[in-house]
Amino acid sequence: MISAQEVLLTLRPLHVWVGPTGHVRQVGKSFAKLGLDDPTGHRFLEVFEIQRPTKPSNMTDLRCLAGQVLRLRVRSEPELGLRGLVIEDKADGAILDLSLGMAVIDAVQRYGLTAQDFAPSDLVMELLFLQEAKSSAMAASFSLNARLNGARLAAETEAVTDGLTGLYNRRGLDGAMARLGQSDTEYAILQMDLDRFKQVNDTLGHGVGDAVLKRVAGILRAHTRQDDLIVRAGGDEFVIVCPGLTDAVRLNALAGVLIRDISEPVVIEGHDLAIGASIGIAVSEATARRDTMNTITCADIALYAAKRSGRGQHLFWLPDMGSSLVDLELPVPRSQGA
């Protein structure tokens, strides 16, 4: 018949046998791996600290815990939590069968454990397998999420961007106006049309027309602030939204410099071009601020008025211009003279 010592040494790599005096008689082979000098002959409670369910201070206390699940740690390796069962050996001693529990994953890394350090019946290899497999699968999943998110951001940006000029498109304008409408920020809208653009496009072709639009976009970018929203609303129609800028002097200067730069004669693909621009300006506090569409309409009305008073002009919206395009006398069709 195999002795109890042998059974334990063969089957239980993490057991501790404590003699009646409270000294360690025998330990499983894996303890050597846990950074522990051979505890055989040392007082058990000096090497191990039992934390739960109660803290025994002598052999009698320890034997009283028989049949209960213990949580304990090695005093020299306090981060290493162990759990296990203690039983009486019927010779005034006690036997503890221990396991690393979830700490096994860290312990494997820390102490370089191998498959032989665990009982073959132990599911620890399955646990480690699962840990590695899960990490690989999670990595693949994170990578997919990152790529999908990148694609989503690109699609969102594309959805609000004008492909030709890289400015915002009308959808981008709508989104920005909705956000402005919900904030307390005052703002100005500059509504701008190019003069003589249609002729360029019709007679010299779209290639030249596109180059003109890109040049205009560049001018708008150069003269606006970081927070300003520049929109190509369609064709040769541009909108600039300036949050926090309502000062008439500065807006005057901005509109003036935009018209001046756009109107500079330029040679594109060998053609001498003289494009111009007209601008209508509306300021949120002068119109009904909460009604952002109304501010845009007012800027539009001011633009019509500017065009009617001769090209290359900019005008602020004034209450006597009305607040509806229908109110305008002799409206100038948008395409005419553009």
Partner 1 sequence: MHGLIFRTLEAFISDTFSPENWTDVVVRANLPVNSFEAMLQYDADYFPQLLSAAGHVLDRPESVILEDIGTYLITHQNHASVRRLMRFGGETFSELLHSLDDLPGRTRMAVSGLDLPQVEVRQPTNGNFTILCRGNPSGFGHVLVGLLRAMADDYGTLALLEHRGQRDWAEVIEVTVVETAFADDRGFSLTEFAIAEDA
Looking at 139, 159, 164, 257, which residue binds partner 1 (CB under 8 A)?
Answer: 139
Q: How far is the CB of 142 from partner 1 (least distance, A)?
A: 8
The residues in 72-101 that bind partner 1, with binding defined as CB under 8 A, are: none
154 touches partner 1 (CB under 8 A) = no
333 touches partner 1 (CB under 8 A) = no
**In the numeric block, which tokens belong to residue 272?**
């001498």
Looking at 3, 58, 109, 336, which residue binds partner 1 (CB under 8 A)?
Answer: 109
Looking at 76, 141, 149, 183, which residue binds partner 1 (CB under 8 A)?
Answer: 141
Q: Are 174 and 263 in contact (CB under 8 A)?
A: no
130 touches partner 1 (CB under 8 A) = yes
Residue with tokens 């699962």: 130
Q: How many helices (H) and strands (E) does the chain have?
A: 10, 13
132 touches partner 1 (CB under 8 A) = yes
Looking at 21, 68, 114, 182, which residue binds partner 1 (CB under 8 A)?
Answer: 114
Give, in degrees to the nearest 5, the angle at Cα 244 between 290 and 247.
Answer: 105
108 touches partner 1 (CB under 8 A) = yes
Q: Helix or strand or coil: residue 189? A: strand
DSSP codes of every residue in 200-239: HHHHH-HHHHHHHHHHHHHHHHHHS-TT-EEEEEETTEEE
Query: Based on CB atoms, which residue is closest to partner 1, 7 or 139?
Result: 139
Interface stretch with partner 1, choices 81-89, 135-143, 215-223, 308-316 (CB under 8 A): 135-143
Query: Based on CB atoms, which residue is closest to partner 1, 122 or 291?
Result: 122
55 touches partner 1 (CB under 8 A) = no
Q: Helix or strand or coil: residue 56? A: coil
Where do contacts with partner 1 occur on this chain (CB under 8 A)?
108-109, 112-115, 125-126, 128-130, 132-137, 139-144, 147
